[in-house]
Structure 1
């Protein structure tokens, strides 16, 4: 397998994992999100994938793993970024206000 195909296959696996983690109710750490967005940007800048093709991949995976409503966020946003579709974590203040 050529380097281009290997990189795109790896990107696809990582994107699938991104959506599957959210579907499972897992947290997506910011560092993971930013690295994945960086890979998407790099793939575009190196000419490995066109933005329309990448958007279609995002829509397809999101639709398949999450739902149509979540996939709409990729159709409505012209930027190629990742959208989080997780339930907010319960937050408890670490200090008490008296």
Structure 2
């Protein structure tokens, strides 16, 4: 996978959340693993990876959602951006 392919995968990941779709954890783990491989091989710097993730997130979900990636320290972790499900009472009281 090239850097362009990584950008595409990140775009698809965040676009899924923007549409309200669920994203399987395996997809997130794959992307995180590939980012780590790029970091380990020095094909991508930590700051470049964080900027790429934040910009892809912001393009799909907005600045507020991307803030977590700009402020994140330590290991790079992709977050779930699922909308909260509506909760309705099962009985009326």
2:13 to 8, 14, 18: 18
Provide the TM-score with structure 2 as the length reference: 0.84
Q: Which runs of 4+ in 1 moved over 2 A?
A: 88-91
The structure with higher relative contact order (CA 8 Å, sep 6+) is: 2
Unaligned 5+ segments in structure 1 are 1-5, 92-98
Tell me the residue number matched to 1:82.
Answer: 78
How far apart are the structure 1 equivalents of 2:5 and 2:67? 24
Q: State yes or no: 1:70 paired with 2:68.
A: no
How far apart are the structure 2 equivalents of 1:75 and 1:13? 20
Provide the TM-score with structure 1 as the length reference: 0.80
Q: How many residues align?
A: 86
Residue 46 and residue 90 in structure 1: after superposition, are their counterparts in 2 closer, same or farther (change >3 A)? farther
Pairwise CA RMSD? 1.6
TM-fit CA distance, 1:88: 3.8
